[in-house]
Structure 1
Amino acid sequence: MNEPLIQHHWVALAAPRVAPALATSTVLILGRIWNANGAEHSTGNAALMAVLAAGAATAGAFAAGGRGGGDGVLAATAFATSGGLALAGVAGYADGSSLPILLWAVATAVAYGIAARYWRTDRRDTIAHTRQTTVRREEHGHVERVEALRAGAQIEAARARAAYAEQLATALVTRAALPHFNPQALTDAGLPELPAGTEHE
Structure 2
Amino acid sequence: MSEPLTHRHWAALAVPKVAPVIGTSTVLILGRIWNANGAEHSAGNAALMVALAAGAATAGAFAAAGHGGGDGVLAGTAFATAGALALAGVAGYADGWSLPILLWSVATAVAYGIAARYWRTDRRDATAHHRQTEVRREGHAHVERVEALRAGAQIEAARTGAAYAEQLATALITRAALPSYDPQAITRAGLPELPSAEKQLK
Report the equivalent of 1:25.
Answer: 25
TM score, norm. by length of structure 2: 0.93
Instruction: Give the unaligned 5+ runs of structure 2.
Output: none
Which residue of the partner structure matches residue 159 of structure 2?
Answer: 159
- Offset of 1:41 from its aligned partner? 1.0
Partner of 2:142: 142
1:10–1:197 Cα change, 3 Å? closer
- Native 8 Å contact 2:64 2:72 kept in 1: yes
- The answer to whether 1:66 aligns with 2:79 is no
Alignment CA distance shift 1:30-1:197 (3 Å): closer
Aligned equivalents of 2:190, 2:91: Cα separation in 1: 115
1:48 correspondence with 2:48: yes
Q: Choose 61-70 or 165-174, whichever is displaced more.
A: 61-70
The 5-angstrom pairing of residues 94-133 of structure 1 reads: 94-133=94-133
Give 1:35 deviation, angstroms. Answer: 1.0
2:64 counterpart letter in structure 1: A
SS in 1 for 2:85: helix
> Does the aligned pair in 2 maintain the 1:176–1:198 contact within 8 Å?
no
Q: Displacement of 1:164 after TM fit?
A: 0.2
User: CA–CA distance in 2 between the matches of 1:188 and 1:9?
Assistant: 90
Contact 2:53 2:83 in 1 (8 A): yes
> What is the deviation of 1:2?
2.3
Contact 1:32 1:91 in 2 (8 A): yes
| 1:87 matched to 2:116 | no
Q: How many residues align?
A: 199
How many angstroms does 1:38 deviate by? 1.2
CA distance in 2, matches of 1:146, 1:90: 69
C-alpha change, 1:191 and 1:158, in structure 2 (3 Å) is farther
How has the CA–CA distance of structure 1 residues 68 and 193 changed in structure 2, closer, same or farther, with 3 Å as cutoff?
Answer: farther
Preserved CA contact (<8 Å) 1:60 1:79:
yes
Please, which moves more after superposition, 4-13 or 158-167? 4-13
Deviation at 1:187, TM superposition (A): 4.1
Unmatched segments (≥5 aa) in structure 1: none
Asked if structure 1 preserves the Cα contact closer than 8 Å seen for 2:173 and 2:197, the reply is: no
Determine helix, strand or coil for the equivalent of 1:193: coil
In structure 1, how many angstroms separate the alpha carbons of the residues matched to 2:117 and 2:53? Answer: 24
Bigger drift between 122-131 and 64-73 goes to 64-73
Q: Distance in 2 between matches of 1:68 and 1:159?
A: 70
Looking at structure 2, the residues matched to 148 and 12 of structure 1 have their Cα atoms a distance apart, in angstroms, of 41
Amino acid at match of 2:101: I
Contact 1:53 1:82 in 2 (8 A): yes
Within 2, Cα distance between the matches of 1:122 and 1:37? 42
- How far apart are the structure 1 equivalents of 2:68 and 2:154? 58
CA distance in structure 2 between the aligned counterparts of 1:39 and 1:104, rounded to whole angstroms:
18
- Provide the C-alpha distance between the structure 1 equivalents of 2:99 and 2:45, rounded to a whole number of angstroms: 17
Question: What fraction of aligned residue pairs are identical, expressed as a percent?
Answer: 81
Output the CA distance in 1 between the equivalents of 2:25 and 2:192.
Answer: 101
